[in-house]
Amino acid sequence: MTLRDLAAIDVGQLRGVGDKKRSALAAFDVFTVLDLLTNYPRRWVDRTNEARIADLVPGEEALVLVTVRTVTKRMTRNRRAMVTVQVGDGSGRMHVVFFNQPWRERQLKEGLQIALYGKPDTYRGGLQMTNPIVDLIGDRTGRIVPIYPQSEKVQLTTWEIASFVDEAMRRCADRGIADPVPHDVTDRLDLIARGQAIASIHAPESMREKEAARRRLAFDELLRVQLVLVLRKRELERTSRGIAHDVDGELVRRFHEALPYPLTGAQRRAISQIEVDL
């Protein structure tokens, strides 16, 4: 399937994408299957490389995968909402505090697996993170978990987007994704196929595989820009009319006569070429 084919398929045709989810995807400018497949993750969580709560060092930023234990909300004296979440990962427990984010109480449910990125501090003898970055992992499996841009307003989770991507890739499996770059070029530049790159950027088996996918997709973007520039240049050359110059006038002859030295053969040939161009 070409990119044009993918752009012709409305994202609402995918299984699981009803009117509500279709509207939510539209908030991210995702209207077609092509939009969905080129809506790349904002980052990837390497399950083999995250820290454990027991290994966290106060004052040092870290990524930790945890499970929500309890969630409570109360108002502070200045009427700001404070949501306190207790999380754990098997090695220990930690409190996470969100100020002025009351919607976290609805987002973070007991038993939900999440990724936290922030700087832990000690508080009352234990560890605590304040307003960390939160990514909802859900029940996504695998060593590398893609994290997509999310919005509380549109109620669309990263694992829902990942499931839609999985469905889109499944529908493309029979025909495959066309690769316009010849094999000898990809072999010479050590690039993977376009279809493999799209699949790997969304569901890589390793960070090395993700980097190979990113490199190929970056090449495609640069190639597309170069092709557009070449086409524009050709169109400009085809439609633009140049200005014809008189190269046999008296001024040119007088200029040559005023030179204090004779022109060499190479100089005369260069001038002749310039006259042809003019």
The CATH number of the domain where 112 resides is what?
2.40.50.140
Q: What span, in angstroms and rounded, lies between the C-alpha atoms of 193 and 23?
A: 32
**Are 202 and 165 part of one and the same domain?**
no
Q: Is residue 205 part of a domain?
A: yes
Percent of the chain with pLDDT over 70: 95
Q: Is residue 268 part of a domain?
A: no
Residue 133, phi then psi, degrees to nearest 5: -75, 135
* Residue 142 pLDDT: 62
Total domains in the chain come to 3
**Are 230 and 199 part of one and the same domain?**
yes
Q: Long-range contacts: 263-271, Cβ < 8 Å, 24+? A: none
Q: Is residue 178 part of a domain?
A: no
**Are 18 and 128 part of one and the same domain?**
no
**Are 63 and 90 part of one and the same domain?**
yes
Q: Is residue 190 part of a domain?
A: yes
**Are 192 and 79 part of one and the same domain?**
no
* Residue 138 pLDDT: 62
Q: Is residue 275 part of a domain?
A: no
pLDDT above 60: residue 31: yes
Phi-psi region for residue 106, left (φ > 0), alpha (ψ -120 to 50) or beta? alpha
* Residue 247 pLDDT: 67
Confidence of residue 6 (pLDDT cuts 50, 70, 90): very high
User: Once rounded to an integer, what is the mean pLDDT over residues 38-55?
Assistant: 86
What residue numbers bound the domain in which 150 lies?
3-44+145-172
**Are 204 and 227 part of one and the same domain?**
yes
**Are 74 and 204 part of one and the same domain?**
no
What value does the mean pLDDT of the chain take? 89
* Residue 47 pLDDT: 73
**Are 161 and 202 part of one and the same domain?**
no
pLDDT above 70: residue 160: yes
Amino acid code (one letter) for 76: T
Among 214, 236, 258, the domain boundary falls at: 236
Confidence of residue 46 (pLDDT cuts 50, 70, 90): confident
Q: Which residue has the higher pLDDT, 151 or 181?
A: 181
Q: Is residue 11 part of a domain?
A: yes
Q: Is residue 17 part of a domain?
A: yes
